[in-house]
């Protein structure tokens, strides 16, 4: 599923202009603990999180996560936006809580991948 479709499903706002909306995504994980993302986040395309700090972008880069969705209306600061843009990571925010956002993606066919 393309990133622009993900944004529609989540009623999300894209936070970086000119980002690649044609990235194909198949799997997602939701976590506020970046250590869990690193331990269990293999082969994930989307990270949903309520944590808003540079560690999120660094973790996404290290784990080759293409899209980060901030839940509960959280918004990254300008330095995080710049870092994500440099790394080619799509950032968006949704007003939905994590549980609802994950459920919407699951209903749309996005899997949690292998455990």
Q: Which residue segments constitute the domains of the chain, with CATH numbers given? A: 3-107 (3.40.1390.20)
Distance CA 94, CA 71 (A): 5
Residue 93 class from Cβ within 10 Å (0-12 exposed, 13-18 middle, 19+ buried)? buried
Q: Over 43-102, what HEC string results?
A: CCCEEEECCCCHHHHHHHHHCCCCEEEECCCCCCCHHHHHHHHHHCCEEEECCCCHHHHH
pLDDT tens column, 2-60: 999 999 999 999 998 877 788 888 999 999 999 988 888 677 889 999 999 999 999 99
Tokens of 80: 């995080």
pLDDT number for residue 54 = 95
Greater model confidence, 103 or 45: 103
pLDDT number for residue 96 = 98
pLDDT number for residue 40 = 80
Residue pair 98/36 in contact (Cβ under 8 Å)? The answer is no
Tokens of 40: 């269990």
The pTM of the full predicted model, rounded to 2 decimals, is 0.93
pLDDT number for residue 100 = 97
């Amino acid at each position: 599923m393309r990133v622009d479709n993900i944004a529609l499903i989540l009623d999300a706002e894209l936070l970086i202009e000119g980002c690649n909306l044609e990235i194909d995504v198949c799997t997602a994980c939701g976590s506020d603990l970046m250590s869990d993302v690193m331990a269990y986040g293999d082969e994930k395309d989307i990270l949903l999180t309520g944590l808003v700090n540079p560690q999120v972008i660094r973790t996404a880069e290290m784990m080759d996560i293409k899209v980060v969705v901030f839940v509960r209306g959280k918004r990254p600061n300008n330095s995080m936006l710049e870092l994500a843009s440099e790394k080619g990571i799509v950032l968006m925010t949704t007003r939905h809580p994590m549980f609802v956002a994950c459920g919407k993606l699951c209903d749309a066919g996005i899997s949690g991948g292998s455990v």
